[in-house]
Amino acid sequence: MTTRKTLTLTTAIALCASGALAQDVTLTIESWRNDDISIWRNQIIPAFEAAHPGIRLDFQPTAPAQYNSALNSKLDAGTAGDIITCRAFDAALQLFERDQLSDLTDLDGMENFSDVAKSAWSTDDGSQTFCVPLASVIHGFIYNAEIFEELDLEVPETEEEFFAVLDAIEEDGGYIPMAMGINDQWEAATMGFANIGVNYWRGEEGRAALIAGESRLTDDEWVAPFEQLARWSPYLGRGFESQSYPDSQNLFTLGRAAIYPAGSWEIAGFREQADFEMGAFPPPVPAGTDGCFISDHTDMGIGLNAASEHQEEGRAFLTWVAGSEASNLFANAIPGFFPLSDAEVTLEDPLAQEFIGWRDQCESTIRPFHQIVSRGTPNLSNESWTASANVMRGTWTPEEAGAHLQDGLSSWYEPHQ
Amino acid sequence: MSARANILRSSAAHAILIAYTILALYPVFLVVINSMKSRRAIFNEPLALPTRESFDLVGFHTVLEQGNFLLYFQNSLIVTLASLFLVLLFGAMAAFALAEYRFRGNLLMGLYLALGIMIPIRLGTVAILEIMVAANLVNTLTSLVLVYTAQGLPLAVFILAEFMRQVSDDLKNAARIDGLSEYRIFFTIALPLVRPALATVAVFTMIPIWNDLWFPLILAPSDATKTLTLGSQIFLGQYVTNWNAVLAALTLAIFPVVVLYLIFSRQLIRGITRGAVK
Amino acid sequence: MSRPRTKRRPIRWHIVVFLAPAVLIYTAIMIIPLFGTLNLSLFTRGEGNTREFVGLANFVTLFTDPRWSGAFWNATWNNLWFFIVHMLVQNPIGIALAAILSSPRLRFAAFYRTAIFIPAILSFVIVGFVWRLILSPLWGVAPNMMDAIGIGDWFSPWLGQESSALTTLALISVWQFVGIPMMLIYAALLSIPDEVLEAAEMDGITGASQFWKIKLPLILPTIGIVSILTFVGNFNAFDLIYVVQGALAGPNYSTDILGSLLFRTFFGFQLQLGDPHMGATVATVMFFIILAGVSLYLFGIQTRMRRYQF
């Protein structure tokens, strides 16, 4: 305990009084990943500190719901930590534009990342990068392999097969076919709409067309995923309208539901909590589609507070993060958050391997509304949460949902006017 | 009134109160029993009492292992009590001035002091943080005490002024004739007479302070100054919430407030009985 | 109304001494930062990191641009309903409980009082968790109990339906906070001197009619305070909505109240970046709504209220 207290004390001194008195430099890390405290303290920090004497790390996460607002307040007042975990796209871009994040374009190690990986933390023209890409998350479906075996079900590849499987589970009656609720709304949009939609708008192609104004949200490729979502509702079990996200997780891990529309981030938690075999499959393809797509979303980056007095040490840390040792460490310590660097990474978790394997079979894309099109009011991404949930609740038709989103976008986004 | 009607009335009163007590306590009871169960048991059978199989103190273990909970406890207690003391003292003084004296701008001053209950103080966060940075108070409990005192004052003044107006003028004027100073009148006559109201205000002021997450997070997030509520946030993850630990931490957090509440509500009763003697 | 008629004297220093500590702390730490924030509503973010003065343009946007006014009026009406539920359910229950509790020679009064107050001291995280658990269609506290008494069919996922979510949340909030009006009114009832009640009993006014004819008029000022506190509390509320329904106040914004709209706008949510200027605009409007309510009370009601000194 005492060591930690002294540590925080030194941090406090280093932060508040301007001259750093301590010999070791301590970098405080801001993050929303409460979940990873023990991983940082037991694996990542010791690994880094062993290789970099003189630099110490202090991981200080904030509960995710408060992260953005707390961080922004602390940055504005000058009390934020040295290392900042970056949300993807505009939230981090805004910090950079306000000169609150350092420019990392020429950071040693940045060459390990592709332009696509860097796109979430670069200026629109791609000329400057301000966070090291840390992880992406992949969408798909996780299933209870024991239930599949018991009911003699095949893993579905097409949409037709997908609904046949759901029907079969429904018919058996022993399990809820699919665990998802819409009380919190975001599951409907991310694990629903963004997950299965990629095959309709054909990944990056459709996303780019939307940004360019060539494709409208009332077009088939954007309405059809809503139609699919509307078909899910009968399989979700009684009262899914007020089923919350933790409810769904528990429903699946307690073995009461067969399929879980997922993000790869669930892997670690499910490993710990489920005592049955699990498998995963990518979003089933609609009839007549050639190729397949997955949502492989750049989710987490890590940057440097421009006001930090330890720019040099901060950059040393980020260079280490960008290297292959750290990539392997992160990828295996937090399975389901996949590294974005080009470094060779070996994953140990079979479920994580399954997810990352889809990168070879299918084309990757990020979530459709994250870049550029969610910059105005109303916010397209947030609206898509409400719209997806409304469609699943049956209060909006898929066409209404598309029209509503399009109206909102047209009201401020020039290419759509 | 006949004895029978009396018994009937009192049993009706008890029936209503018992029914409402159950309604009030049952959810709390659910929290407490579930904090002692395994995660599996929480969600499989939330209603069930912990049995030999489902009894699991893992939540409490996690809480006690993670971070310095005793210290967090102490911090919460210090911040809450210090803020309460200041709110009650300064609030009562201001309320007395507003209720007792006629001076120009009295009503406006009352309104000015009430403005604070109309805007959530959280909106002033950045400016408050800047003040604390300038005063070198970041990561101190003092910064929290200052903010909570400011936050609690409007409501305290508002309620206490109303009660101060009900203090008998005869008593005060008699004291004035005896040559007591205004300060003595405040401390020896007015303050004891509004003790029930003070106790009530103490209870209202204490709750949001004890449960506040925001200002500890912004002003004093360091490990040495963390409060209990902020400390329990560690278990609310992005995707996985450690319900065992959250329930355990918050179960533990209920008790000190209940104790404080009991202390204040005894003050309330005592104040009333003494007021009756006057 | 009677107040001491102190004669005019040059400066009564004791008034300054009584007021100074509260006024100083409150002004420095609350008023100045808050008005600094409200001031932002007159600006917008210009090119680069500059601030541009726009006068009342943000208010015009809030009231006339359908993208903003829709959300604003939705939140306002929801908030009004939230308040009405509290006035109709919370305060009558609070008064009734206080009246019962204050009846003389009631045994276990302290126990009941404490028990009923306990929900008010719980944090929102716990309240949100436990009511979601109780109302969850899956884990079944509510559905199972309703099944047990044969009304299982009446159960529906209240929190997930547009028609019922807001009322459900308001009732949860009532459950949590009913102890507060109860405490205040209890304190007021107890401070009614015994002589008054004895005199009433001499005149044969007892029981319920004693409550309506004697006690209720005497505690009217306290009921006034309770109402205004409920009003202010409800128009500032937001934590419960955030914990139970999330920042987007689903389903379909049906539980969005001014507080949740304000926090979403001011601090942002997910991809929606915080907009301090529009946020401050919403806050300023809220401030005027509450100010109007409080002024109505202070100038219109409080000064006219008959107050009895004991």
B221 chain-A contacts, CB cut-off 8 A: 60, 62
Q: Which of B44, B217, B223 sits opposite A5 (nearest CB)?
A: B223
A89 chain-C contacts, CB cut-off 8 A: 271
Does any domain span residue A356?
Answer: no
How far does the CA of residue B174 sit from the closest CA of chain C (Å)? 12
Q: A307 and A197 share a domain?
A: no
Q: Which of C125, C207, C262 sits opposite B250 (nearest CB)?
A: C125
B186 touches C: beta carbon within 8 Å? yes
C121 touches B: beta carbon within 8 Å? yes
Are A8 and B223 inside 8 Å of each other by CB?
yes
Task: Provide CB contacts within 8 A for A53, sequence distance 6+.
Answer: none
Q: Which residue, chain included where needed, has tokens 């023990």?
A: A38
Q: Which of B43, B133, B237 sits opposite A79 (nearest CB)?
A: B133
Distance CA A305, CA A2 (A): 28
Residue C206 in tokens? 């007892």
What's the pLDDT at A345?
Answer: 86
Does any domain span residue A242?
Answer: yes
> Is residue C44 a contact partner of residue C54, using CB atoms and an 8 Å limit?
yes
Beta bridge partners of A26: A56
Does any domain span residue A357?
Answer: no
Q: A86 and A196 share a domain?
A: no
Tell me where in chain B the CATH 1.10.3720.10 domain(s) lie: 60-277
Q: Which of C49, C250, C273 sits opposite A183 (nearest CB)?
A: C250
First to last CA, chain B: 30
First to last CA, chain A: 60
> Is residue A316 a contact partner of residue A102, using CB atoms and an 8 Å limit?
no
- The values of phi and psi at residue A129, to 5°, are -120, 140
Beta strands in B74-207 (DSSP E): none
Are B234 and A70 inside 8 Å of each other by CB?
no
Q: A143 and A278 share a domain?
A: yes
Burial class (CB in 10 A: 0-12, 13-18, 19+), C11: exposed
How far does the CA of residue C233 sit from the closest CA of chain A (Å)? 22
B243 chain-C contacts, CB cut-off 8 A: 129
Task: Provide CB contacts within 8 A for C145, sequence distance 6+.
Answer: none
Residue B30 in tokens? 């659910």
Residue B88 in tokens? 């009650």
B117 chain-C contacts, CB cut-off 8 A: 232, 236, 290, 294
The predicted-structure confidence for B169-203, as pLDDT tens digits, reads as follows 888 999 999 999 999 999 998 988 888 888 888 98
The predicted-structure confidence for C1-38, as pLDDT tens digits, reads as follows 445 555 555 778 899 999 999 999 999 999 999 999 89
Beta bridge partners of A220: none
How far does the CA of residue B257 sit from the closest CA of chain C (Å)? 7
CATH of residue A10's domain is: 3.40.190.10
Q: Which of B223, B236, B239 sits opposite A63 (nearest CB)?
A: B236
Distance CA C243, CA A66 (A): 12
How far does the CA of residue A16 sit from the closest CA of chain C (Å)? 20
Burial class (CB in 10 A: 0-12, 13-18, 19+), B10: middle
Among residues C76, C261, C93, the alpha carbon closest in space to that of C176 is found at C93
Task: Provide CB contacts within 8 A for A371, sequence distance 6+.
Answer: A89, A119, A120, A207, A211
B238 chain-A contacts, CB cut-off 8 A: 32-35, 64, 265
What's the pLDDT at A181?
Answer: 93
Q: Which of residues 45-84 of C touch B (CB under 8 A)?
A: none
Residue C199 in tokens? 């005199």
Q: Which of C15, C28, C307 sits opposite B166 (nearest CB)?
A: C307
> Is residue B233 a contact partner of residue B63, using CB atoms and an 8 Å limit?
no
Quick check: bond before A378 cis, omega within 30? yes
Q: Residue range C197-223: average pLDDT?
A: 87
Alpha helices of chain C — where are they, by DSSP H? 13-26, 32-39, 57-64, 66-85, 91-101, 109-121, 124-135, 141-148, 165-177, 179-190, 194-202, 207-210, 216-236, 239-245, 258-267, 276-295
Long-range contacts of C191-194 (CB under 8 A, 24+ apart): C191/B166, C191/B196, C191/B272, C191/B275, C191/C310, C192/C218, C192/C219, C192/C310, C193/B276, C193/C310, C194/B276
B240 touches C: beta carbon within 8 Å? no
Q: Residue range C211-235: average pLDDT?
A: 90
B29 touches C: beta carbon within 8 Å? no
The predicted-structure confidence for B210-252, as pLDDT tens digits, reads as follows 988 889 988 988 888 989 888 888 887 777 777 888 888 878 8
C136 touches A: beta carbon within 8 Å? yes
B216 chain-A contacts, CB cut-off 8 A: none
Among residues C287, C288, C256, the alpha carbon closest in space to that of C80 is found at C256
The DSSP letter of residue A152 is T
- Strand duo A55-61 + A25-31: pairing: parallel
Are C248 and A251 inside 8 Å of each other by CB?
no
Q: Which of residues 41-60 of C touch A (CB under 8 A)?
A: 49
First to last CA, chain C: 13
Q: Which of A69, A374, A386 sits opposite C248 (nearest CB)?
A: A386
Does any domain span residue A360?
Answer: no
Residue C31 in tokens? 């008023």
- C307 pLDDT above the threshold of 80: no
> Is residue B93 a contact partner of residue C19, using CB atoms and an 8 Å limit?
yes
- The values of phi and psi at residue A409, to 5°, are -65, -45
H-helix or E-strand containing A56? strand A55-61
- The values of phi and psi at residue B103, to 5°, are -145, 160
Q: Which of residues 61-120 of B touch C (CB under 8 A)?
A: 86, 89-91, 93-94, 96-98, 100-103, 107, 109-111, 113-120
Q: Classify A260 as helix, strand or coil.
A: strand
Residue C1: count other Cβ atoms within 10 Å of its Cβ: 10
Q: Which of A99, A185, A381 sits opposite C246 (nearest CB)?
A: A185
Residue A29 in tokens? 């890390």
How far does the CA of residue C193 sit from the closest CA of chain B (Å)? 7
A98 chain-C contacts, CB cut-off 8 A: 49
Q: Which residue, chain included where needed, has tokens 């609350």?
A: C30
Distance CA A376, CA A416 (A): 13
Q: Which of residues 122-161 of B touch C (CB under 8 A)?
A: 122-128, 131, 146-147, 149-151, 153-155, 157-159
Are C295 and B111 inside 8 Å of each other by CB?
yes
Confirm or reject CATH 1.10.10.10 for domain C72-302, answering yes or no.
no
Number of H helices, E strands in chain B: 14, 0
pLDDT in tens, chain A (417 residues): 344 444 444 444 444 444 444 478 999 999 999 888 889 999 999 999 999 999 999 999 998 888 998 899 899 888 999 999 999 999 999 999 999 999 999 999 999 999 889 999 999 999 999 999 999 999 999 999 999 999 999 999 999 999 999 999 999 999 999 999 999 999 999 999 999 999 999 999 999 999 999 999 999 999 999 999 999 999 998 889 999 898 899 999 999 999 999 999 999 889 988 999 999 999 999 998 889 999 999 999 999 999 999 999 999 999 999 999 999 999 999 889 999 998 888 899 999 999 999 999 999 999 999 999 999 989 999 999 999 999 999 999 999 999 999 999 999 999 998
Distance CA A194, CA A198 (A): 7
> Is residue C91 a contact partner of residue C226, using CB atoms and an 8 Å limit?
yes
B130 chain-A contacts, CB cut-off 8 A: 77
B60-277 fold: MetI-like fold (1.10.3720)
Average pLDDT of the residues of chain B: 86
Cα radius of gyration rounded to whole Å, chain A: 22
B31 chain-C contacts, CB cut-off 8 A: 122, 126, 129-130
Total domains present in chain A: 2
Q: A267 and A411 share a domain?
A: yes
Distance CA C60, CA C64 (A): 6
Quick check: bond before C251 cis, omega within 30? yes
Range of B256-265, C133-142, C257-266 with top mean pLDDT: C257-266
Distance CA B91, CA B95 (A): 6
Distance CA B259, CA B256 (A): 5
Interface with chain B: mutation pick from C5, C174, C183, highest number of B CBs within 10 Å: C183
Distance CA A271, CA A267 (A): 6
Instruction: For residue A284, give its domain range.
Output: 138-296+365-416
Give the up-direction half-sphere exposure of residue A74: CA atoms within 13 A in the CB hemisphere: 33
Residue of C nearest to A412 (CA): C67
Number of H helices, E strands in chain A: 19, 9
How far does the CA of residue C161 sit from the closest CA of chain B (Å)? 23
**Chains touching C by CB (3 or more pairs below 8 Å):** A, B
How far does the CA of residue A35 sit from the closest CA of chain C (Å)? 18
Residue A27 in tokens? 């970098």
H-helix or E-strand containing C114? helix C109-121
Are A242 and C139 inside 8 Å of each other by CB?
no
C67 chain-A contacts, CB cut-off 8 A: 377-378, 408, 411-412
Q: A269 and A147 share a domain?
A: yes
C295 chain-B contacts, CB cut-off 8 A: 111
Q: Bin C63: left if φ > 0, else alpha if -120 < ψ < 50, else beta.
A: alpha
Q: A315 and A189 share a domain?
A: no
> Is residue C22 a contact partner of residue B113, using CB atoms and an 8 Å limit?
yes
